[in-house]
């Protein structure tokens, strides 16, 4: 999984980079085929925003979270993206059912 972290009106320090990496790595516990992850951190007047775009095979998942504290926004973001990845995983799981062509039809 490649991870790119960019900051808007903010310098991304090694501490912030490590914190984001630890939080976003939770995704790989549930889903192995993550192609690319882009994190955008931004600071406005009293609003710290964290956005993430996760590129999966066949799907892109985008999520955003805002809070007064940057670390709290990253925590909210990690929780949201974790829920979305789990939801996508349950939708894409294949269940072994007998195809309609092979089912036997009861005749009387």
Q: Are 30 and 39 in contact (CB under 8 A)?
A: no
- Residue 37 scores a pLDDT above 70: yes
Using the Cα atoms of residue 91, residue 19, residue 39 and residue 70 in order, give the sign of their dihedral.
positive
- Residue 14 scores a pLDDT above 90: yes
The rounded distance, in Å, linking the Cα atoms of 80 and 71 is 14
The rounded distance, in Å, linking the Cα atoms of 77 and 64 is 6
Reading the block at residue 57, the tokens are: 């095979």
Reading the block at residue 33, the tokens are: 């085929």
> How many CB atoms lie under 10 A from the CB of residue 51?
19
Helices (H) and strands (E) in the chain, counts: 3, 4
- Residue 95 scores a pLDDT above 80: no
Domains of the chain: 2-102 (3.30.160.100)
Reading the block at residue 27, the tokens are: 């995704």
- Residue 99 scores a pLDDT above 80: no
β-pair partners for 66? 49
Write down the mean pLDDT value for the chain: 85
- What is the rounded average pLDDT of the residues 65-76? 93
């Amino acid at each position: 999984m490649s991870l790119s972290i960019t900051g808007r009106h903010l310098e991304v320090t090694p501490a912030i980079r490590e914190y984001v990496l630890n939080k976003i790595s939770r995704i790989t516990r549930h889903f192995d085929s993550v192609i690319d992850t882009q994190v955008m951190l931004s600071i406005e007047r009293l609003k710290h925003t964290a956005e993430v775009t996760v590129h999966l095979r066949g799907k892109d998942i985008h999520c955003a979270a805002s809070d007064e504290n940057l670390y709290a926004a990253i925590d909210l973001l990690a929780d949201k993206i974790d829920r979305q990845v789990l939801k996508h995983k349950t939708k894409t799981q294949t269940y072994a059912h007998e195809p309609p062509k092979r089912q036997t039809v009861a005749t009387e």
